[in-house]
């Protein structure tokens, strides 16, 4: 039986703009190109902290959440330590929990079990000292996954993320595997072993766009009148000098450049 894996990673978000864009993505205020728009209504919020719920009551619009949260952070740190947060303070960081592609069917079979496992994982993250503001489940892409935005200001007014070491991240991976064990999943293999690189949502969307452009270019070539001649040339059934001028240009662009 093929193994099923879970994976959790975090990324730093320093500027208000980056955090705002992350929230736009998470709450689908701005719809990415790679999602199924007919499934967006299935997305839901798995968790919201008391502080995040309070902000939602005070301000209207996802684009205002980050700024309002920053004001609350300033007030908290001032009251707690008597000092102000520096302008370049990293206020928030984001995270994402992902799964093997098998979760697409497993979720459909047991959505309530998935949510129970997710809430258990969120609770364990809080025990580790992390402060999730929300966890937003996405069901409009290939595989179910959920995004976090974390409050990066600890109870002592210092950065939480900067104190998270590699071993702690490995521990979190193990914890996530334990939380989803009842669904047949286990912690993923370390990136240090697989050598895989993770893509941010923006980088992933850019890669999708480039793939679409390449596919469209290939389709256009296949539908061109020169395509049959190009096939003959590749097969060796026609000489280069006998090709139409238009086809020569296409082939010349496709051939590797000689040193």
Residues in the chain: 259
pLDDT tier, 204 (very low <50, low <70, confident <90, very high otherwise): very low
pLDDT single digits (tens) 119-128 = 999 999 999 9
DSSP state of 159: B
| Sequence spans of domains, the chain | 4-196, 206-254
This prediction has a pTM of 0.72
Higher pLDDT, 62 or 229: 62
pLDDT single digits (tens) 39-48 = 999 999 999 9
Q: DSSP states of 57-126 as a string? A: HH--SGGGHHHHHHHHHHHHHHHHHSSPPPTT---EEEEEEEE-TTHHHHHHH-HHHHHHHHHHHHHHHH
User: For position 175, what pLDDT does the model report?
Assistant: 96
State the average pLDDT for the chain: 83
In 3D, which of 85, 68, 66 has the Cα closest to residue 153? Answer: 85
* 3 state DSSP class of 225: coil
CATH number of 4-196: 3.30.930.30
Give percent of the chain above pLDDT 90. 55
User: For position 214, what pLDDT does the model report?
Assistant: 62
DSSP state of 158: S
Phi then psi for residue 30, to 5 deg, are: -115, 120
pLDDT single digits (tens) 51-105 = 999 999 999 999 999 999 999 999 999 988 888 888 888 999 999 999 999 999 9
Judged against a pLDDT cut of 60, whether residue 193 lies above it is answered with: no
């Amino acid at each position: 039986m093929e193994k099923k894996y879970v994976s959790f990673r975090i990324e730093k978000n320093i500027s208000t703009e980056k955090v705002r864009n992350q929230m736009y993505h998470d709450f689908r205020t701005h719809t990415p190109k790679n999602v199924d728009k007919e499934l967006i209504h299935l997305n839901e919020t798995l968790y919201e902290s008391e502080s995040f719920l309070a902000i939602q009551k005070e301000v209207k619009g996802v684009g205002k959440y980050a700024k309002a949260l920053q004001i609350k952070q300033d007030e908290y740190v001032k009251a707690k330590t008597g000092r102000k947060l520096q302008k370049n303070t990293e206020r928030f960081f984001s995270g994402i929990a992902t799964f093997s592609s098998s979760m697409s069917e497993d979720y459909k079979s047991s959505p309530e079990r998935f949510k129970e496992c997710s809430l258990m994982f969120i609770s364990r993250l809080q025990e580790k000292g992390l402060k999730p503001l929300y966890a937003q489940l996405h069901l409009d892409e290939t595989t179910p996954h959920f995004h976090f935005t974390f409050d990066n200001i600890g109870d002592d007014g210092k950065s939480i993320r900067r104190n998270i070491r590699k071993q702690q991240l490995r521990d979190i991976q193990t914890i996530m595997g334990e939380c989803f064990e009842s669904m047949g999943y286990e912690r993923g293999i370390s990136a240090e072993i697989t050598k895989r690189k993770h893509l941010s949502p923006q980088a992933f969307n850019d890669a999708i766009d480039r793939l679409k452009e390449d596919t469209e270019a290939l389709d256009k070539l296949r539908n061109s009148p020169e395509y049959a001649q190009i096939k003959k040339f590749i097969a060796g059934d026609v000489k280069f000098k006998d090709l139409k001028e238009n086809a020569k240009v296409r082939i010349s662009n496709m051939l590797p450049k000689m040193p």
